[in-house]
């Protein structure tokens, strides 16, 4: 059974720092991996989607990598800003086309 884990559950860093969020999954048989952002009281916003055949995707200050063999993905945020404060979730589409979610990392960027 596919399980997705995100560590740490919470992270607080000063503004301007580069940071990495981690996502791990137990079964490498996935179709893709997605990173989402959730602001308090709001829905989820898709940030990046990496297909299983890809190694990374970039959008602005965000870069997501995927290593299927080790069951890991990272979300790199460059030059963090207070507006980046949110909960970041990763989700994998497993071999049964089920979307399996991690519990999220709550990120706080201190001005």
Partner 1 sequence: DARVTQTPRHKVTEMGQEVTMRCQPILGHNTVFWYRQTMMQGLELLAYFRNRAPLDDSGMPKDRFSAEMPDATLATLKIQPSEPRDSAVYFCASAPGLAGVTDTQYFGPGTRLTVL
Residues that bind partner 1 (CB under 8 A): 31-32, 34, 36, 41-46, 49, 89, 91, 93, 97-99, 101-104
**Cβ at position 9, least distance to partner 1 in Å:** 12
User: Among residues 40, 58, 38, 61, which one has the least CA distance to residue 48?
Assistant: 58
What tokens does 12 get?
């607080």
Q: How far is CA 80 from the centre of its chain?
A: 15
Whole-angstrom distance, CA of residue 39 vs CA of residue 29: 30
**Cβ at position 70, least distance to partner 1 in Å:** 22
Nearer to partner 1, 18 or 59 (CB): 59
**Cβ at position 20, least distance to partner 1 in Å:** 22
Nearer to partner 1, 34 or 73 (CB): 34
Whole-angstrom distance, CA of residue 4 vs CA of residue 13: 24
């Amino acid at each position: 059974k596919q399980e997705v884990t995100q560590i740490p559950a919470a992270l607080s860093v000063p503004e301007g720092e580069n940071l990495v969020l981690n996502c791990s999954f137990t079964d490498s048989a996935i179709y893709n991996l997605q990173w989402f952002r959730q602001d308090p009281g709001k829905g989820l916003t898709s940030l990046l989607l990496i297909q299983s055949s890809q190694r990374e995707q970039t959008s602005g200050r965000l870069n997501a990598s995927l290593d299927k063999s080790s069951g890991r993905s990272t979300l790199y945020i460059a030059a963090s800003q207070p507006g980046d404060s949110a909960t970041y979730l990763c989700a994998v589409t497993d071999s049964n086309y089920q979307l399996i979610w991690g519990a999220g990392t709550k990120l706080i960027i201190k001005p």
